[in-house]
Amino acid sequence: FAIKRLIGRRFEDPMVEKDKGLVPYHIVKGDNGDAWVESFGKKYSPSQVSADILIKMKETAEAYLGEEVTEAVITVPAYFNDSQRQSTKDAGRIAGLEVKRIIPEPTAAALAYGLDKEHTDKKIAVFDLGGGTFDISILEIGDGVFEVLATNGDTHLGGDDFDQAIMKWMIDEFKKESGIDLSGDKMALQRLRDAAEKAKIELSGTQSTEINQPFITMDASGPKHLALNLTRSQLESLTHGLVERTRQPCLKALQDAGIKREDIGEVILVGGMSRMPLVQKTVEELFGREPHKGVNPDEVVAIGAAIQGGVLTGDVKDVLLLDVIPLTLGIETFGGVMTPLVERNTTIPTQKKQVFSTAADNQPAVTIRVLQGERKMAEHNKEIGRFDLADIPPAPRGMPQIEV
């Protein structure tokens, strides 16, 4: 589980470091320097694990349709960077699928919501809190055109973090009662994780739930049982900080879209975690309106992807999707600075040009590093490619004109 949080990330990534202590499997350095996982002595890339899931989905679709499936539209978190999207495409290729399009999950949700509402111009917010990632997208829809105005998010915030908060509470409570620390027991941790998720789901519909895990461990006196009662208010107290982390991306998305919350005509909830009452209350506070309850948060993204597939095959007509880049694209310039070329939330496809020059007299070549991110210094952003421009004629620095 949570493989989406590792896909396209380097092993040294601080987020990977954080995940190492939270998952029951081993995260190791892959052959290419990326974060991979190890199981039964074998190493697997996140793309391979994702491919296994896609293979199963491909088989399910083929069994239902009675024919071979060779092409796919795959959805990803809106805030995925280029290497994360590329790794997702690789997963499709490994699974034997030609990936026709990668589209952001909130955009897919908007397609599913808005297809039968083509003649009303409306700005909508799609709040997507899933198992491992969080996205917020602001879109304008009308007359079959779906235009993404802005997107923001946190690719390391989701239901897994809520489960982790409940698990920590369970471990602490059990330690207080029995003096035994379960945090090093991998078998017990998996049982606690399952119990935490079950309790979290139950507390969306009830005020209190019992957590019972018999024979969770043993000591010299015999087997030990874990029996705890968790209330909704306790859960909200444990996870309040996680829910609060959704606020800033929402405010930033509104700011980037250049609109006020009063301009939002509808708020759509996506992802299983959006069923949590505290999350729904926070969304209502943020946007000043009750979220739309007419879509299934678990299915709406898949429906939107199917609609996009229909657009590509010509079965669905008069639908135009205008997407944006989620993170700024730029190049490294003198002093290790990142110079932006295409700002985040620019509608794509797009083309930008800028003229640069050399930093030293008679400089024969320049290396152009293409970066993605919002930090001022190049080293703090994600490098998505580099190329060398050689055979520059000798000239004083600042004279050669290099158009990027």
pLDDT at 286: 97
Task: Indicate the residue type of 69.
Answer: V
State the Cα–Cα distance between residues 219 and 222, nearest whole angstrom.
Answer: 5
* Numbered ranges of CATH 3.90.640.10 in the chain: 159-241
Nearest 5°: the CA angle 84, 90, 91 is 90
Environment class of 52 (CB within 10 Å of its CB; exposed 0-12, middle 13-18, buried 19+): middle
Q: Give the tens place of pLDDT for each residue, 275-284.
A: 999 999 999 9
Tell me what the pLDDT averaged over the chain comes to: 92
Nearest 5°: the CA angle 40, 161, 28 is 30
Q: Which residue has the higher pLDDT, 166 or 382?
A: 166
Cβ neighbours of 23 (radius 10 Å): 18
Reported as a pLDDT band with limits 50, 70 and 90, residue 117 is low
Find, among 124, 123, 88, 128, the residue nearest to 105 by Cα. Answer: 128
pLDDT at 402: 84
Q: What percent of the chain has pLDDT over 90?
A: 65
Class of domain 329-403: mainly beta
Q: Give the tens place of pLDDT for each residue, 71-96.
A: 999 999 988 888 899 999 999 999 99
* Numbered ranges of CATH 2.60.34.10 in the chain: 329-403
Q: Which residue has the higher pLDDT, 403 or 194?
A: 194
Q: How does DSSP classify residue 241?
A: H
pLDDT at 68: 97
149-162 mean pLDDT = 93
290-297 mean pLDDT = 89
* Numbered ranges of CATH 3.30.420.40 in the chain: 3-157+245-324
pLDDT at 100: 95
Checking if the pLDDT of 268 tops 80, the result is: yes
Class of domain 3-157+245-324: alpha beta
* Parallel, antiparallel or unpaired: strands 222-231 and 98-104: unpaired
What is the pTM (predicted TM-score) of this model?
0.86
Checking if the pLDDT of 119 tops 70, the result is: no
Cβ neighbours of 305 (radius 10 Å): 23
State the Cα–Cα distance between residues 234 and 368, nearest whole angstrom.
Answer: 52
Taking each continuous run of H as one helix and of E as one strand, the counts in the chain are: 10, 19
pLDDT at 118: 56
Q: Which CATH architecture has domain 159-241?
A: Alpha-Beta Complex (3.90)
Nearest 5°: the CA angle 124, 299, 282 is 45
43-68 mean pLDDT = 96
Q: Give the tens place of pLDDT for each residue, 331-383.
A: 998 889 999 999 998 888 888 888 888 888 888 888 889 999 998 999 988 88
Instruction: Pick the range with the lowest mean pLDDT from 46-60, 292-306, 382-396.
Output: 382-396
